[in-house]
Chain A
């Protein structure tokens, strides 16, 4: 009962959190490039403007698919906070991302299609990590829901150092930051125009944007999960991780997809796999 309210709260508050985070991100990025940057609330203005614009759909399927993308992103967070099994949450998270790939693939444009292919690659690169992360958390705490992990009396994070480091690498993909922003780009000059969002406009692009806000909030919740005993510490840890992402985003060029796939899989396999394996070996 209580947990359902948390889920509902997430659906309402996560976009505010994600949008504000995007606003801070844009200010900080601008300052790193010695620019002033847009107002803090610019992401909200942008989405507001997008919603007012006329929407052109290349393929009528794209609309429902993108709506599905937003709904499943929101659902991922709601289920997580609502007390569903963590492994199940990781699968819903992947499903939500898959809707975006399908929507982009449905547009009959080469840029969009190649972007969708690349998104599929980064999805392949990042999904094993989330499953391993959930497995690691469940293994350490012995429980399998968000609320139970938070109620677990010991810190989870110290036993998952490999997963913490891998989190930083995979978050670069999920937050669409350079060097791993191969499927879309927050910065428009790239080989795929805007990758998988090339053929989305108006309302549809607003959906993608809002879904991304949910995505940031979910990643934040995952961080809180790792720092289970105190959510303020989890928030601070997420803030530090995000700041690092922004710094790396402004200090590297975009990598090619082979490097993305290789480095994320290597990180997942060595750091996460090693971490989880060690838990089983040392554990009992």
Chain B
């Protein structure tokens, strides 16, 4: 990801008086281009009734800058994606040091952890999501559908 443009866009939201609504990560299973899987991370903002978000594809090990300089409340979400997904967020204003959630398994939502669970379920004969979801427009290949960080944020949605 392009760190400078990303932080500039975040700062635009900050100056525009937007409120941080959500930082969400989704793990994607491994593909041919990304054998270690990838993360689809969304930074969502709300102003009045407009809802907009920035989207980035993160590869495990990528460094993701914290946005807590612009949005101090981001620390909870950033600690969360660090603990649950293993995304390497740097420069947090409040670093809870892995103490936010006391999960039994460390990093339960990393692509490899999800795959291991699904395969264990399949081996035990428990019905569950298949470890290899069908590729399709909304399948594992969302890398292609994510807009580039420099593009305008994906159109706002009101729910």
In the complex they form, whether A and B have CB atoms below 8 Å apart is answered with no
* A interface with B by C-beta (< 8 Å): none
